[in-house]
Amino acid sequence: MIADEYGLCSLQEGMLFNHVSGERSGVDVQQIVVGYKEPVAAALLDQAWRLAVARHPALRTSFEWKRSSDPVQQVHDQVEINLVVREKCVDKAGLESFLRIDRARGFDLSTAPLMRLTLFEFGPKEYWLVWTIHHIVVDGRAFIQVLNDVETYYQKLRAGEAVEPEPGPAFQPYIAWTRGLDLSGADEFWARQFAGLAGPTPLLEDPEALAGADRGFERVELRLSELATQALRAAAKSCDVTLNTLVMAAWGIVLGRYGGEQEVVFGAAKTARSGSIAGADAVVGLFLHAVPVRMSLAPEAPVATVLEDLRSQWISLRRYEATPLGRIREASGFGQHSALFNSLVVFEKQSLQTAMTTLDERWKGREVEVHGQTQLPLTLSVYGDAGMQLLLGFDGRRFTQETAERLLGHMRQVFKSIATNPQQKLSEISLLTDAEQQQILVEWTNTRAEFPRDKCIHQLFEEQVARTPEAVALVGENESLSYAELNRRSNQLAHRLRELGVRPEVAVGLCVERSTAMIVALLAYPLLRTSRLTLDSETVMMMRSRAFFFIVVLLAVVRIAAHSYLDQVISVQQTAGLFFVLAFGMILRWRMSMFLEYRRLTAS
């Protein structure tokens, strides 16, 4: 029987759309895995879960969208839930396999409950509980509430106490509150947010992943040390921003560097419990919004300024954060079928493990993990524990695990750079890890190779010609030469220079642009045992212009001097004669200085 019926919040509408039109299973399915290092009474744990489901309306909710254009969620007064016990699970790898299969099963959103429970027995004192539930009815704060209730009921049942839980607070008042929000200026606000953008920030896909088989939705993990996390908190505090703002800024910087963009857009999860209905923290439901965040990444902008701008934008989003994503898409101008963003950042102040341990000491001896899958190619989940934890979920059809791990490594580098100096410019932040710097600056530049020290370059070249005459030796703009052809041309040039009188120890100038002809000439010099003076075209043009200027000035000086000292204007023929006498003397002096310089160089 239906106990209550009401509408959906904006994020629920988006998840329902994913369910109805989605091409992939497992989207928006959450799995909470609890590892017990103690004996577990399966029957009592099953009963405790039944009591929790009876208490919270969201756990007895289904959705109806076929009979009307406005979908609704329906709360059932009773639902059937069973804890399935599986004995002797092989190992943790078997559990991981089960999680993938179980997540892919998904749910029929029209049938309650939208959750299932499985208990694995690894041994007499090791059990693993898998709570699989659709994200459309719960958020991260709800996980804490439900797990705490189950634990309370379980311990009372073990003690032989009677348990009669009071009905939990309903989710319906929050839906009514969202329907009463004034979103009259939302279209204009979101149009300004997306002004000048043609579409969502593109992600560079991994060719290896595209060519491989469908590996499903995977994830990689990065944990920062407590010292590194403290440094990040200090940097955030110095800039008067939250750790969440700093994390979003780091993600935006990485996205911008990967795509070569100075404007990026990504999604961010925003909690809606604070400032909504009274007693929202005790309600099991979905109090979340997914909002687009735009970041400008001008290279000369200081990091502190970027953080301040991001904080201001985050505050300005509050009034319109409940705007349905479909309406935001229309305002963006991206197109009806375009995504608003391709990645999502989810920040939690603490992990579920830390939250449960804070509530009850018994959770210290247990392991708690959260597994999830979104519709997006990349989802970054960050938990602000003493040692911050980053989980990057990625679409295995588009990215490899190696690429995902590299991305998290670059996040670490951005964190490190910001913590070191929040006042530096964005252009000064390096994404390269120590290993990547070693690879680029040392390994890839280590081109040293052993070769015979008793042979000249032309002799080594001729040996290579004999080994691979038809192999390509040189590629230019308009042609490519084999070793045999390159050798033939260099020999031909050397013979021609001999015919022109070039002898050993005679310097020969070389003026040629970078081309195949330059390499031919360079190989011809050793054959003649001559030295070369290499000149580029700019140097030659400069010499020509200086020579012309020198001639004009010298002619003027000759005529002026003749007029001054001879007190008469000399003819053109007389001027030329005097000019050549002076010029010959200067050229002779220049040639002598060049010869002396050449002797000095050859002697050294």
511-535 residue pLDDT tens: 777 788 888 888 876 766 655 555 5
What range does the domain containing 486 cover? 457-535
482, 430: one domain: no
- pLDDT average, residue stretch 379-395: 96
Is residue 288 located within the same domain as residue 436? yes
Residues 251 and 369 in one domain: yes
Query: Is residue 520 domain-shared with residue 559, that is, in the same domain?
Result: no
User: Could you tell me if 268 and 384 lie in one domain?
Assistant: yes
In the numeric block, the tokens 């003027």 are attached to 556
Residue 516 has what pLDDT?
Answer: 84
How far is residue 400 from each of residues 212, 213, 223, 375, 570, measured CA to CA in Å? Answer: 9, 11, 20, 17, 87
Q: Region 236-254: what's the mean pLDDT?
A: 97
Q: At 230, which CATH number?
A: 3.30.559.30
- 191 located within any domain: no
How crowded is the C-beta side of 528, counted as CA atoms within 13 Å? 27
Spatial distance between the Cα atoms of 382 and 367, rounded to a whole number of angstroms: 18
Tokens matching residue 35 = 């590892």
Averaged pLDDT for residues 471-498: 86
The answer to the question of residue 188 being in a domain is no
Quick one: pLDDT at residue 322? 92
Interval 246-264 mean pLDDT: 95
Q: What pLDDT does residue 123 have? A: 84
* Pair (159, 304) in one structural domain: no
> Does the residue 393 lie in any domain?
yes
Q: Is the domain of 495 the same as that of 507?
A: yes
pLDDT of 580: 61
Residue 47 pLDDT > 50: yes
Q: Report if residue 186 sits inside a domain.
A: no
Torsion sign, CA atoms 241, 369, 286, 104:
positive
Assign 335 a pLDDT band (cuts: 50, 70, 90).
confident
Q: How far is CA 461 from CA 483, 490, 504, 515, 526, in A?
A: 8, 11, 20, 18, 11
pLDDT of amino acid 316 = 94
- Residues forming beta bridges with residue 572, ordered by sequence position: none
Count the domains in the chain. 4
pTM: 0.74
The reply to whether 389 and 400 lie within a common domain is yes
What's the confidence (pLDDT) of residue 243? 97
**How far is the C-alpha of 460 from the C-alpha of 462, rounded, in Å?**
5
3-class secondary structure, 97: helix
Better-predicted residue by pLDDT, 505 or 116: 116
Of 319, 268, 314, 318, nearest to 291 by C-alpha is: 268
Do residues 112 and 76 make contact, with C-beta atoms less than 8 angstroms apart? Answer: yes
Give the separation between CA 150 and CA 50, rounded to whole angstroms: 9
Domain assignment of residue 408, yes or no? yes
In this prediction, residue 245 carries a pLDDT of: 97
Backbone phi, psi, residue 160, to 5°: 80, 15
- Residue 371 identity: H
Domain boundary among 448, 483, 508: 448
Residues in the chain, overall count: 604
Does the residue 189 lie in any domain?
no
DSSP structure class, residue 35? E
Q: Which of 384, 419, 448 is the last residue of a domain?
A: 448
Contact 284, 168 (CB under 8 A): yes
The confidence score (pLDDT) of residue 493 equals: 85
Tokens in use for 542? 């400069």
Tens digit of each residue's pLDDT (9 = 90 or more) over 576-596: 555 565 666 666 665 566 556
pLDDT of 464 > 60? The answer is yes
Domain boundary, last residue among 448, 483, 510: 448
Q: Supply φ then ψ for residue 14, to 5 degrees.
A: -65, -40
Helix (H, G, I), strand (E, B) or coil at 290: strand
Please determine, for residue 182, whether its predicted confidence score (pLDDT) is greater than 80: yes
Residues sharing a CB contact under 8 Å with residue 439, sequence separation 6 or more, in sequence order = none
451-463: average pLDDT? 78
pLDDT band, very low/low/confident/very high, at 569 (cuts 50, 70, 90) = very low
Which pLDDT score is estimated for 270?
A: 93
112 shares a domain with 48: yes
What 3-state DSSP class applies to 134?
A: strand
Look up residue 152 and give its DSSP letter: H
Tokens at 324, concatenated:
């349905």
Token pair in block for residue 531: 């030295």
Would you state the structure tokens that stand for residue 78, as one six-digit string? 């009773």
